[in-house]
Structure 1
Amino acid sequence: MAQPSRLLVGFAGVAVVANAMALVTPQESFAASKAADTGRMGAALSDAVSQRERDMAAQRSKLEMRERAVKASEARLAGQVDEARNSAPDVAAAGADEVKPDVPYDRLANIYQRMKPARAAPIFEKLDIEVQSQVARRMRDQVTAQIMSNMSPAAAVKLSMALAGRKVVDARPTELAAKSAGKSGGGARSGR
């Protein structure tokens, strides 16, 4: 049989001494030390519980404050809804003729934005000036500029005036005929 190691013998010796001390020590002092430990543990638990209660009370007050804010917001919204309902018949009666759905203009704007400007411009020119301006307002500025650069100058001017909120005045047919005759006549002379 092998001899036990020195480390094992050392631990056994320490265990014997500890057990001997436990037997010699009176039970009363052991109970007193245990009560002292329970007192410290009890105090720590008591502190932890009171801290937890304070935290819960703070959270409860925050929740109550949020609830009051939500109720105030609901009351404010209800007042705004009532006000809007009361004013809606007045607005509907006053602007019944002027109300136009925006959805077709939005869809047209998306369609023209997807087209190539050179192909969109001739079609866009033939639209009514009101439709042109409504659609152009809903398109991105860069796309509108590209389409306008491919439009005839007269159509681009009309659209620019409509977008600026100015009255669009059609040029008189006699002025247009004179201008076009001057352009074609001048071009033929310079070519000879």
Structure 2
Amino acid sequence: MIGRPSLLLMTAAATALASIANAVGVASPDPAVPQTRLGVAIADDVDARDKTAVRRGRSLDLREQAIRAAEARLKADLETRAAPAGSAAPGVVAGGDGAASPDQFDDLAKIYQAMKPAAAALVLEQLDLDVQMRVAQRMRERSTAMILAAMTPKAAAALTMALARRQAPRPSYVTPAGVKPQVAKR
């Protein structure tokens, strides 16, 4: 009985060879086999998700840089205010109000004009409204428009109103008798 292999033994050997062949096929896919539409769609979605994650990371890095810069300015401002009144720090107008000189706003306007509008809008929204207005006044109109378009509607409206108030002449309400009437303030 040793001369003839059994049917069970031959089936077991064939099964073992088939499982080894399947393992090798799975481990090394054939590059010549085209992907399915589903595989391509999944790969595209993964790529899009990765690109979005990179954009978010850049945005967060930009915000962190803006926060660090604001902290440094606040620290410098506190040190300037703590200094004796006789010694004025560079970049501070000698008036005691701690306002920045006009060329600082010109420099900031140049910096924001050089940035991409979306990135500039993220940082500009974090600034004080007065600083936003002074920087925007010194920028080219097209750059200001593109940055306003990238800002949130609330921040863009606030900056627009500040710019409108600053540029509009104040009407004088003088009656014929020379008496100014009471005007309700908002």
The structure where helix makes up a greater share of residues is 1
- The reply to whether TM is greater than 0.5 is no
Q: TM-score band (shorter)?
A: 0.3 to 0.5
**Largest Rg, 1 or 2:** 1
TM-score normalised over the length of structure 2: 0.36
